[in-house]
């Protein structure tokens, strides 16, 4: 795809990366077949190709996001199904991430939307707050129709979806010893909403790993991977989450891998290094990525490595093919 950025625009590394991605797109449209939002409503602007055009137009003219552009970018699920069918290798993920940041900085949303987004970014990444919110939602559930009648459709939808029972977290200590001889030691990212909505997933992961001789550590200070706020375009908050996780894992000795059992968190963590190449992620980033011996050990431990979706390589330098 031909682009028309000025040299001054291209001096910004983020714009330069976006331009490179845009140029890779040959507008063939193969991606539309696997895009759930396009399959659902048939609107070209809700397809990857349509969004790419909207983003190109917005960035090339360095203009604030319009309501229409914000709407169609908001509707993108960041499921990345389009990347699996693109023959040109368009890195849609980095492009839409950049666009979301631009929308967040330049588009003033209606007050209700601003309130909902602020509420979600304050609640969801924090398990205790989210658990309390779910408890509070139980008596509020019958008022879902009232919220709908008042125009708070999204709040009404959340109340309808809220469970009737309170969350039951199962995690206790920070270290779960291996059953039998220890074959490895991993850090488990317990995440945020995942651990409140379905704590049995983390409990099962720990059970499987420890039975395979893997000691599981829940690093104090590690939490949300940052994707919830990152996908709202709140880059500073997302960067804070990345830094906190890297420093928490770096403070634990002898980790062979970081295990992540939620695919979205794995995608985000593995992208930490590439996403913010010009930002300092903290001392921990350097310490992990330089630890060649630990990386080699993670590669050697076949059985438990297959269980890990997010690896120690999460914090490796961009372009390191070793893992
Ligand atoms: S499949 Fe790839 S190259 Fe083709 S339109 Fe979609 S993003 Fe562009
Ligand atoms: S990330 Fe998913 S929803 Fe967004 S454009 Fe690609 S396929 Fe469609």
Domain extents in the chain: 7-106, 111-161, 175-313
Q: How far is the CA of 69 from the centre of ligand 1 (A)?
A: 19
Q: Given the DSSP bridges, would you call strands 214-217 and 184-189 parallel, antiparallel or unpaired?
A: parallel
- The pLDDT value given to residue 24: 96
Residues 259-268 have a mean pLDDT of 89
CA 52 to ligand 1: nearest atom: 7
Q: How far is the CA of 60 from the centre of ligand 2 (A)?
A: 22
- The pLDDT value given to residue 297: 45
pLDDT of residue 151 exceeding 70: yes
pLDDT band at 169 (very low <50, low <70, confident <90, very high): low
pLDDT of residue 310 exceeding 90: no
Residues 254-282 have a mean pLDDT of 78
- The pLDDT value given to residue 286: 45
- Report the range of poorest mean pLDDT among 29-33, 128-132, 153-157, 221-225: 153-157
From CA 182, how far away is CA 150, in angstroms rounded?
57
pLDDT of residue 80 exceeding 90: yes
- Report the range of poorest mean pLDDT among 1-5, 73-77, 247-251, 292-296: 292-296
The response to whether residue 78 sits with its C-beta less than 6 Å from ligand 2 reads: yes
pLDDT band at 164 (very low <50, low <70, confident <90, very high): confident
Are 261 and 205 in contact, with CB atoms under 8 Å apart?
yes
Ligand 1 pocket test target in 27, 34, 45, 99 with most atoms within 8 Å of CB: 27
DSSP line for 9-64: HHTSHHHHHHHHHHHH-----GGGGG-HHHHHH--GGGSHHHHHHHHHHHHHTT-P
The response to whether residue 199 sits with its C-beta less than 6 Å from ligand 1 reads: no
Q: Given the DSSP bridges, would you call strands 257-260 and 184-189 parallel, antiparallel or unpaired?
A: parallel
CA 48 to ligand 2: nearest atom: 5
From CA 185, how far away is CA 210, in angstroms rounded?
9
Where helices occur in 127-190 by DSSP H, the ranges are 127-140, 144-149, 153-161
From CA 294, how far away is CA 150, in angstroms rounded?
56
pLDDT band at 94 (very low <50, low <70, confident <90, very high): very high
pLDDT of residue 300 exceeding 50: no
From CA 322, how far away is CA 304, in angstroms rounded?
18
The response to whether residue 92 sits with its C-beta less than 6 Å from ligand 2 reads: yes
3-class SS at 80? Answer: coil
Tally of residues, the chain:
323
Encoded tokens for 89? 């290798």
Q: How far is the CA of 208 from the centre of ligand 1 (A)?
A: 40
pLDDT of residue 188 exceeding 50: yes
- The pLDDT value given to residue 277: 58
From CA 193, how far away is CA 199, in angstroms rounded?
9
Q: Tell me the CATH architecture of domain 7-106.
A: Orthogonal Bundle (1.10)
Percent of the chain whose predicted confidence (pLDDT) is above 90: 55
H/E segment holding residue 209: helix 199-211
Are 242 and 211 in contact, with CB atoms under 8 Å apart?
no
The response to whether residue 179 sits with its C-beta less than 6 Å from ligand 2 reads: no
pTM over 0.75: yes
In what side-by-side order are the strands of the sheet with 257-260?
175-176, 214-217, 184-189, 257-260
The response to whether residue 48 sits with its C-beta less than 6 Å from ligand 1 reads: yes
**At a CB cut-off of 8 Å and minimum separation 6, what does 246 contact?**
272, 281, 282, 284, 285, 288, 315
Residue with tokens 């994707």: 227
From CA 299, how far away is CA 292, in angstroms rounded?
11
């Amino acid at each position: 795809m031909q682009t028309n950025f000025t040299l001054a625009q291209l001096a910004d590394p983020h714009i330069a990366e976006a331009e490179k991605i845009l140029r890779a797109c040959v507008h063939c449209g193969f991606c539309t077949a696997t895009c759930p939002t396009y399959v659902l409503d048939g609107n070209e602007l809700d397809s990857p190709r349509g969004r790419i055009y909207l983003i190109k137009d917005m960035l090339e003219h360095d203009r604030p996001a319009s309501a229409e552009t914000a709407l169609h970018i908001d509707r993108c699920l960041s499921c990345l199904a389009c990347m699996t069918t693109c023959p040109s290798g368009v890195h849609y993920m980095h492009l839409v991430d950049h666009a979301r940041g631009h929308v967040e900085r330049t588009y003033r949303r209606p007050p209700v939307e601003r309130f909902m987004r602020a509420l979600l970014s304050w609640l969801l990444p924090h398990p205790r707050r989210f658990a309390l919110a779910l408890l509070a939602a139980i008596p509020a559930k019958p008022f879902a129709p009232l919220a709908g009648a008042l125009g708070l459709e999204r709040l009404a939808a959340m109340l309808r979806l809220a469970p009737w029972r309170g969350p039951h977290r199962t995690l206790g200590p920070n270290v779960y010893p291996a059953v039998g001889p220890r074959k490895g030691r991993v850090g488990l990212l317990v995440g945020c909403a995942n651990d409140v909505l379905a704590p049995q997933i983390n409990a099962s992961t720990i059970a499987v790993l420890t039975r395979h001789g893997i000691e599981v550590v829940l690093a104090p200070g590690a939490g949300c991977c940052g994707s919830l706020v990152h996908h709202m375009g709140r880059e500073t908050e997302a960067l804070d989450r990345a830094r906190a996780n890297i420093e928490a894992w770096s403070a634990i000795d002898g980790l062979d891998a970081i295990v992540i059992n939620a695919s979205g968190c794995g995608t985000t963590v593995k992208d930490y290094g590439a996403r913010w190449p010009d930002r300092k992620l903290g001392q921990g980033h350097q310490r992990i990525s330089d630890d060649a011996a630990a990386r080699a050990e993670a590669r050697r431990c076949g059985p438990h490595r297959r269980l890990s979706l997010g690896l120690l390589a999460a914090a490796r330098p961009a372009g390191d093919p070793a893992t």
